Structure 1
Amino acid sequence: MHELSITQSVIDAVVEKMDGATVKSVRLEIGKLSGVVPDSVRFCFEVICAGTMLEGARLDIDEPPGLARCRDCEGEFALNDLIMLCPCGSANVEVLAGRQLRIKSVEVW
């Protein structure tokens, strides 16, 4: 479960940047094509935050969809999973969005 190490890295980054402030909430952006399971991150967040300045903090997760462009027909289309086929049938696609994994904001008391 790589979500555990990802969540630990997020918490470490927040603790480092917030310099002792009590954290009220953290908002993450986890793209649909990132390979990260948001529900697993939620579970790990609660467990790892225990005993830290993030204990009791709310975790909000935005899950932007995937977006790709076909290199053959030049059309853009939504991707909801890792099957990257253009509606024209081509697999020659460029992913434009949906792989992101980032901390969008942190709210402190």
Structure 2
Amino acid sequence: MHELAIAENLVDTVCTRAAGRPVRRVTVRIGALTAVVPDDMRFCFDLAAMGTAAHGAALDLDLRPAMVFCRVCKIDQRLPDRIPLCPCGSADVTVTTGRELHVVSVETG
């Protein structure tokens, strides 16, 4: 479960930025290709936040689909799974979304 390591790093980063202020809400953008399981991420965030300025903070996840630009079809396609192939079968694609994993906002108070 790599979500725990991600959550621990997230809590450390957010608490450092909060500079002692209590963290109320954290929004994180997560792409489908990161293989992060949303429910596991929420659980691990709550666990990692215990005893920190982020204890009790809400974690909002902005889940992004995996999209590729197919050089054969010349169009953007949404991937039905985590395999970066165009639905036409071509592997000649550029991933345009789905690899995101970053903090969008932090609410303190």
Pairwise same-fold verdict (TM > 0.5): yes
Q: How does 1:72-87 map to 2 (within 5 A)?
A: 72-87=72-87
Alignment partner, residue 34 of structure 1: 34
Structure 1 length-normalised TM: 0.93
Q: How does 1:1-109 map to 2 (within 5 A)?
A: 1-109=1-109
Q: Distance in 2 between matches of 1:54 and 1:69?
A: 38
Deviations 1:22-48 (A, max 9, x none): 111100111111121121110001111
- Is contact 1:32-1:80 (8 Å) kept? no
Structure 2 length-normalised TM: 0.93
Query: Matched residue pairs, number?
Result: 109
Deviation at 1:88, TM superposition (A): 2.6
Q: Which runs of 4+ in 1 moved over 3 A?
A: none
Q: Distance in 2 between matches of 1:6 and 1:80?
A: 25
Q: Distance in 2 between matches of 1:11 and 1:3?
A: 12
Where do 5+ consecutive residues of structure 1 fail to align?
Answer: none
| Aligned-partner SS, 2:15 | helix
Over the aligned positions, Cα root-mean-square deviation in angstroms equals 1.2
Deviations 1:72-105 (A, max 9, x none): 2322101242122223321221100011000000
Deviation at 1:107, TM superposition (A): 0.5
Q: Distance in 2 between matches of 1:80 and 1:39?
A: 20
- Is contact 2:79-2:87 (8 Å) kept? no
Q: Which 10-residue stretch deviates more, 88-97 or 4-13? A: 88-97
Q: Distance in 2 between matches of 1:50 and 1:43?
A: 11
